[in-house]
A = this chain, B = another copy of it.
Amino acid sequence: MDKVEVFELIERMAALIRSEERKKCTELGLQPVHLQVLDYLSRCNRYSDTPAALTNYLGMTRGTVSQTLLLLVKKSFIKKTADASDRRMVHLSLLPEGNAILKKARTSELFIQAALIFKKHNLANHQDIFVKALTSLQKANQSHSFGLCKTCKYFTITADGFTCGLTKEPLSQSDSEKICQEHSIL
């Protein structure tokens, strides 16, 4: 066996998933980006559910993101809500229809088959290695890490729940399990 970089292997998996995703998208009448947006919104908390954060995450321009969102709103996949304190900001959230189509996209044949084969090869037991790989990637991507809230160095546990050490705001269980734009590695 040649010495292949682990990262190279992950890249190939990513390519495979990408091409599968593309097929799924055309079936559902969507562009890959749209699915990425829905996926992101299903994973982000209230610090990162804004168009600006999405722009950072996707690496597109604000104008483009704005249009993409317009389309998703028109299709009733997402909705916009004005921020109470900062009236420039808008919070995005998935609507039931958006959730439904996301779920449909995720349950592709590839995903189901792969999960089965993973189980057969006992890959599930090596979960920790994949977790390490993912956090390595996130660490490498520090500029905008978009990590899980509860793995952030500002995540603190207080007497009556969780708190964000950066904003001093209380966090719900759900918040803590989602992607945050301000995520900092320990």
Give chain A's interface residues, CB within 8 Å of chain B: 1, 4-7, 9-20, 22-23, 26, 36, 39-40, 57-60, 109-118, 121, 123-124, 126-127, 129-134, 136-141, 146
Contact = CB atoms under 8 A, between A and B. Distances in A.
B126 A16 contact: no
A1 B36 CA distance: 26
A123 B141 CA distance: 18
Given A19-B59, A20-B141, A60-B22, A123 B114 contact: no
Contact of A129 (B7, B126, B137): B126
A22 B114 CA distance: 26
A131 B6 CA distance: 8
B115 A5 contact: yes
Contact of A15 (B19, B39, B115): B39
Contacts of A59: 19-20, 22-23, 26
Contacts of A139: 113, 117
